[in-house]
Structure 1
């Protein structure tokens, strides 16, 4: 598929307007799995239009319906490129028991489906894009094997694709898992816990990374009638039945972070983001506190949040992003653009995201003369040679957050060319259209 580049320009450094954000990808993906596990008793409201959520919904819906047994050598492809195809197929007593699911670049779907699909008692190969096949899945596969799943690696040990064989039978109700890995592994196990015949006790070893995401998962399960206990480092969920309810997906705080970034780089900002609340389940709502350091005031009223900018020197020197790693690119780019030599911790998971986000940040920030220096688990900005060019090309590395974290630089750089603009569909498809609403010009590059 050809990549479509765009050029961003912005006249003046004032931004004003109202932006209606899509539903949270994180909340929506959890809600979709809960809905599937509940056999329809839990409904999902305000479905996100992020490509990852649409992909996951497509796959879950097809699994519920059952893949037609006579789909020989055909493919079902959703609008975002996820492929659900039959493998021939193998038929036993008139039903399909073997097929393949290609989730493309949808990382959350890969983790959640690795835990969910074994419960369906089907033989399924789960694969993804080239980058997805480089992202580790071994910790979760090991946990699922201990629980009783028969899972094998199709290519490389510890990485997708994986083949999930039918015949799941729970072997234990107690699993230990490291806390400093992706919280999506932990969430995947917690989501299926109440559907396991023996329930699940999950022991978290060491410090828990991205704790707010785990808390979000448990809060949503509780809304759906699933109770838990969390004592020290142990979470226990018994076998339970879901309640009939609806899970309302809040607008996406991760998407909101880019508007905080835009406000921070502006001279004057007055933005309203409807639907966001001060009591959000989303850990990325901490962006309100982080951006207060840059003079951004958040006022919750009229059913949303108002952002305003006031001149303020940045004082904070250390940002711990352990509990909100998806905000790292946003915060680091703002600091770099403002010439603020801050240090950052809690970035351990960034190297195994859609791209190696540390390397990507280092490469792109170098284009404005800024260095991101790694010293153990601490990263420090060196802005001593910072310069704002007249034109800059931003490589996005197939990473939606690279595109959106660097886009606000158009306020400072007269012509900002962004590679592969369509990459934002993964989490925020309307991003470029929303930029136009507040005065940015978005011009396609003619190839």
Structure 2
């Protein structure tokens, strides 16, 4: 299928207006699994229209209706090779792959979970090993440690204790916590070492608690006993990850006054820390009238070190802003970026080089070198099938006269209305 690029231009560097953001993908994906595990006791409000969430919701609702998603026949009569009763292709939806891997260990059926070619390169072995310790029957279909995987379901629990490294993706930990209350003996999860993306784990536990699932967290051990969900509704807040791109746009503007309805000061979402990060770039956040007002104020850049361990999805956004402003900052906490939709470190290095900026790596520390930075008249951005590459680089249209971004539809993964919202804010977005 042919992909169309999009060309962004912006006359002037002033912004004013209101942007209505979709529901948080992170919150919504957790809420949908909770809804499915509660057997209807929990309802989800303000469901995100992000493609990943639409995919997950479709799969779970099909399961709830008892529908097979593929492979209606048990055998191929021509080859006499067994066909799986249900093969589920989640495409590029990484969260869905992790959460469904845990979810289907509790279902009374056999499924194969597969995805896009990039998904088959994203590791899942840590989660599979943990689930096997609990008693899950999971096999690798192609390559050990990677999707596709075959799950037999109807887990017979062998143990309630699992150890998992805190430095890996928090989605593995969340996947285990989401199913914990449905396990016959509950779960005692031991986290080894420092916990990466802690706010995402806290979000999971807070949402479970809202649905009636209690937990204890003592030191490095999170415990959840077997217990029932309560009847309730989970309201999904607008997406702070999506809001981060508007903070970046404001940071690269001369004047900006934007209102983002629905966002709250005390959010479950770890990416709400963007308010503190962007304060370094002169963006103030005022919470009132049921949302947040962004206001650009003149401020000299001072902060030189950004630790993004607890908010790695903000890394591309913050790094691009620093590069555009020629701010030679240092970044830590980027360990998980290489196993995302693409190798985000390499992708950033490739694209920043087009404006003379280097992102150097030394151990776990990354530094921006802007000594040879220049502003080209035109710049083409490869997105590497990564929605965040497109949206993190889009604010450069404020400093580069003509910015062409590969594959306009890549943003549908998390923020389908992104280009439309940019146009409403005064950008010109032409599909090429």
The two structures share one fold, judged by TM-score above 0.5 = yes
2:70 aligned to 77, 82, 85, which one?
A: 85
2:258 aligned to 253, 264, 271, which one?
A: 271
Q: Look up the match of 1:80.
A: none
Instruction: Decide whether aligned partners of structure 1 residues 161 and 97 sit closer, same or farther in structure 2, where only a CA change above 3 A counts.
Output: closer
Map 1:167-246 to 2 at 5 A.
Answer: 167-246=154-233
Q: Output the CA distance in 1 between the equivalents of 2:40 and 2:89.
A: 24
Superposed CA deviations along residues 244-288 of structure 1, whole A, max 9, x for unmatched, are: 000000000000000000000000000000000000000000000
1:137 aligns with 2:124: yes
Q: Look up the match of 1:255.
A: 242
Q: Output the CA distance in 1 between the equivalents of 2:425 and 2:110.
A: 49
Unaligned 5+ runs, structure 1: 69-83
Shift of 1:87: 5.6
Shift of 1:138: 0.1
Q: Output the CA distance in 1 between the equivalents of 2:319 and 2:121.
A: 25
Superposed CA deviations along residues 65-121 of structure 1, whole A, max 9, x for unmatched, are: 1125xxxxxxxxxxxxxxx42263369xxxx98210000000000000000011002
User: Per the alignment, in what secondary structure is the counterpart of residue 85 of structure 1?
Assistant: coil
Q: Look up the match of 1:284.
A: 271
Shift of 1:166: 3.6
Superposed CA deviations along residues 225-247 of structure 1, whole A, max 9, x for unmatched, are: 00000000000000000000000
2:386 aligned to 383, 399, 405, which one?
A: 399
Superposed CA deviations along residues 348-369 of structure 1, whole A, max 9, x for unmatched, are: 0000000000000000000010
Q: Output the CA distance in 2 between the equivalents of 1:89 and 1:247.
A: 38
Shift of 1:334: 0.1
Q: Look up the match of 2:54.
A: 54
1:153 aligns with 2:155: no
Structure 1 contact 209–322 (Cα < 8 Å) conserved: yes
Instruction: Decide whether aligned partners of structure 1 residues 162 and 97 sit closer, same or farther in structure 2, where only a CA change above 3 A counts.
Output: closer
Shift of 1:24: 0.1
Q: Look up the match of 1:351.
A: 338
Instruction: Decide whether aligned partners of structure 1 residues 351 and 101 sit closer, same or farther in structure 2, where only a CA change above 3 A counts.
Output: same
User: Per the alignment, in what secondary structure is the counterpart of residue 227 of structure 1?
Assistant: coil
Instruction: Decide whether aligned partners of structure 1 residues 220 and 165 sit closer, same or farther in structure 2, where only a CA change above 3 A counts.
Output: same
Structure 2 contact 323–370 (Cα < 8 Å) conserved: yes
Which runs of structure 1 show a deviation greater than 2 angstroms over 4 or more consecutive aligned residues?
Answer: 87-91
Q: Output the CA distance in 2 between the equivalents of 1:9 and 1:113.
A: 40
Structure 2 contact 70–85 (Cα < 8 Å) conserved: no
Q: Look up the match of 2:10.
A: 10
Q: Output the CA distance in 1 between the equivalents of 2:397 and 2:107.
A: 48
> Structure 1 residues 346-355 or 308-317, which shifts more?
308-317
Structure 2 contact 408–431 (Cα < 8 Å) conserved: no
Q: Output the CA distance in 2 between the equivalents of 1:245 and 1:98.
A: 33
1:294 aligns with 2:281: yes
Unaligned 5+ runs, structure 2: 77-82
Structure 2 contact 139–150 (Cα < 8 Å) conserved: yes
Q: Look up the match of 1:67.
A: 67
Q: Look up the match of 1:102.
A: 89
1:409 aligns with 2:372: no
Shift of 1:223: 0.2
Q: Look up the match of 1:116.
A: 103
Backbone CA RMSD of aligned residues: 1.2
1:369 aligns with 2:356: yes
Q: Look up the match of 2:150.
A: 163
Structure 2 contact 104–153 (Cα < 8 Å) conserved: no
Q: Look up the match of 1:81.
A: none
Map 1:373-384 to 2 at 5 A.
Answer: 373-384=360-371
1:429 aligns with 2:413: no
Q: Look up the match of 1:43.
A: 43
User: Per the alignment, in what secondary structure is the counterpart of residue 97 of structure 2?
Assistant: helix
Q: Output the CA distance in 1 between the equivalents of 2:144 and 2:368.
A: 36
Normalised by the length of structure 1, the TM-score is 0.94
Q: Output the CA distance in 2 between the equivalents of 1:108 and 1:169.
A: 25
Shift of 1:167: 4.0
Q: Output the CA distance in 2 between the equivalents of 1:167 and 1:173.
A: 16
Q: Output the CA distance in 1 between the equivalents of 2:58 and 2:75.
A: 22
